[in-house]
Amino acid sequence: MLPVTGYVDRWSVRPGETIRFMISSRGAQPYRARLARIFCGDPNPKGPGYRERAMPCGIEGAHAGAEQPVRPGSRGFVPRLDLATSFSVALTLKPTLLDEAAPQTLLQWQGLSASLHLWIEGRQLRAELASPAGVTRAVLGRALAEGWQDLALARDAAAGVLTLASRPRPDSYGPAPRIAAVETSCPAASLGQGQLMLAASLQRDLSFSGRLERPTVYDGAWPVAALLDAQAGGAAPIAPAALWDFSEGIGTDRITDRGPNGFHGTLENLPTRAVTGAAWSGRHHRWTEAPAEYAAIHFHADDVGDLGWAPSLALTVPADWPSGLYALHLETAEGRDNIPFVIRAAEAGSQARVALLLPTLTYQIYGQYPRREVTETSLPRAEAWGALVEPAHRHPEYGLSAYNTHADGSGVTITSMRRPMPDKRVNQIHRLDESPEGSGTYWLAADTYLIDWLDRRGIACELITDHDLHAEGVGLLNRYSAVLTGQHPEYHTEETRGAIAEFIAGGGRFLYLGGNGFYWKIVPFQGETWAVELRRAEGGIRTWAAEPGEGYHAFDGSYGGLWRRLGKPPQALVGVGFTAQGEYRAEPYRFTDAIDDPRLAFMRAGLEEAVPGTAFGERGLMGGGAAGHEIDRTDKALGTPRHALVLAVGLPQHASFEPANEDRLTQEWPGAREEIIRSDITFFESAGGGAVFSVGSMSFIGALPIDNYENLLARLMENVVRRFADPTPFPWPLPESPL
């Protein structure tokens, strides 16, 4: 656990509204808090330098600390379940981490004076029934199998017997599996009313990793063979007293009991639903068409959803505070952290006609991204620069990013903002950049170059977030003349991407200042973006792939994957789309002949060097140049407008750069290197007097601060932003070009 850390209840807040900070200090140590407005979050002394402005307020100063709990592991909680004196329990499961040394609870029931525990330990199934009459334990001698299997437990009070049994589901070959069972004497005692936890103990530990399906409770002790047959689709011995059908409410955090008493429950820490169950036939790939084949839930011992911390501090934003990026700095005797957030204008567009749209959905997807070697090598530099030095891989208790796999090897499909994300901070670097002026920034710290540059150039700007855009739609963007993106706006919902498309089509001016943007589709949890889901279906550069039959989101039933595979490639939105990726290296751009086009006269104003062949962006804080790491190119076949102008091209040279997977049909490259491994700076006008400017490089904004923002790339960008902020319409339809 970090010495001190926390999170906010939302990404952005307006003046007059209250934002709450959930803070935990290790050992309940006291901490100090101070608030600052952030301009540059990069601590590199060779760059513009970390820059903030103190914002005195009532929550500053010393505070008593409290250590708030962190309990990873998804589970299902049923607040009431009545057990008869004689009862039977059946369950279908697929364990995915059988070699885990720690016990893994399948279910635990706790009554007033009795308890039942069913768990796996050392690949063996174990049960314990405890009551005032004594404690009975049963251990199944046969090791559990890797695949799907059915379990049964029956307690016959009259006979004084507890029976535990399992049977693997049959595969396509080999003999029919046999039942393994053990019978143990069990003293009689009444059970009655209690609580049930699935996939974890009631103390919320001993978590299970794997899939559970159809937990069922019967009154009376029934032959275990009949119980196992019922789990496998046969007739039940009697009507169940409780049966949790996980095919119900797949897009929710509720579990439904089909029994007569309605012992419904709630899921905690967002396990994965819409996963194939024991009955999956392979004929259906969309769970909404055959929910009975998706009647399983995949629980993970390292799932983290809403930590549920109590609010520690609350700030009501003063009316005169300007829109911008802010951070609450926290410090104890043992360490420090900061919690960034955005203050919006009380009324969108009232402070500025330019907006910077921070890619907070992408921050959230990447939140807690452990990259041990990449991060560890940068820590000595971070310490020397006075930056934060707590990497994500040292704190797995706060969960994982969607770029990681769970301990059982399955992909992380759901990420939450209701937890600390210590790798999404300011005053932070993420990797060792070996270029002469390199910073090694990423995500939020890199996006502050834009904030710093706009402030230093006197260009008024309001900040908004992806989360705001999802909630408010195109009406939010329409309050501005020009909207800029950050360095890596990769992940979007239907709502955010749709709002940007509508803004551009309606005459808005949009500046895409990153690379590998608008790439993957994500879906919010029941319409709320505090948790989002990702299904990496089909192609794309990815660290894991969706399992067969699991390409559709649980949260809304829609198909997942690349926007390109969904018929909405980024080229059709902003003119360029992801084409290649390589190491954290970057090269300069060179102007093409298109820079002489009269349509680009506003870009060339005051820039005598802006002629074909001139290089710019030769230096940068992100890989040593402006065109690099993850890059985009135009492609008219994928929707780049026919009238788009490619005014500059960057050609990364490092051998690590390879084409995106989705461009390959065979093992061969889809074209010559210079056709594929290139970043195109692109401009085009749209109907209604709007325009789009796209750079197509994750390293681009790292070249802005060179020479104190006095370089050709920065001056070109100032011309672009000032013209885009000017309400004068761009010509449409276009005059015929003389070139």
pLDDT tens for 406-451 read 999 999 999 999 999 999 999 999 989 989 999 999 999 999 999 9
pLDDT digits (tens, 9 = 90+) for 292-306: 999 999 999 999 999
Say if CB 243 and CB 325 are below 8 A apart. no
- Compute the distance between CA of residue 387 and CA of residue 390 in angstroms, rounded to an integer: 10
Tell me which DSSP letter residue 138 carries: E
Closest CA to 5 of 375, 397, 386: 397
pLDDT at residue 374 is higher than 90: no
> For residue 274, what are its two tokens?
């819409």
Confidence band for 20, pLDDT divided at 50, 70 and 90: very high
Q: What is the share, in percent, of the chain residues with pLDDT greater than 70?
A: 99
- The confidence score (pLDDT) of residue 173 equals 74
Q: What is the DSSP string of 481-497?
A: SEEEE-S---EE-HHHH
Phi and psi, residue 262, nearest 5°: 65, 50
Residue pLDDT, tens place only, 58-72? 999 999 999 999 999
- With beta carbons less than 8 A apart as the criterion, state whether 111 and 194 touch: yes
Average pLDDT score over residue span 198-218 = 96
- Terminal CA-CA length for the chain: 62
> Average pLDDT, stretch 585-599?
97
Q: Whole-prediction pTM value?
A: 0.96
pLDDT at 529 over 60: yes
Q: The tokens of 243 are what?
A: 């049966």
Distance CA 155, CA 164 (A): 9
Quick: pLDDT tens for 536-582: 998 899 999 999 999 999 999 999 999 999 999 999 999 999 999 99
Q: How far apart, in whole angstroms, are the C-alpha atoms of residue 668 and residue 676? A: 12
> What whole-number distance in Å separates Cα of residue 564 and Cα of residue 571?
9
**Contact indicator for 558, 523 with CB cutoff of 8 Å:** yes
CA pair distance 13, 10, nearest whole angstrom: 7
Q: What is the average per-residue pLDDT within 584-591?
A: 97
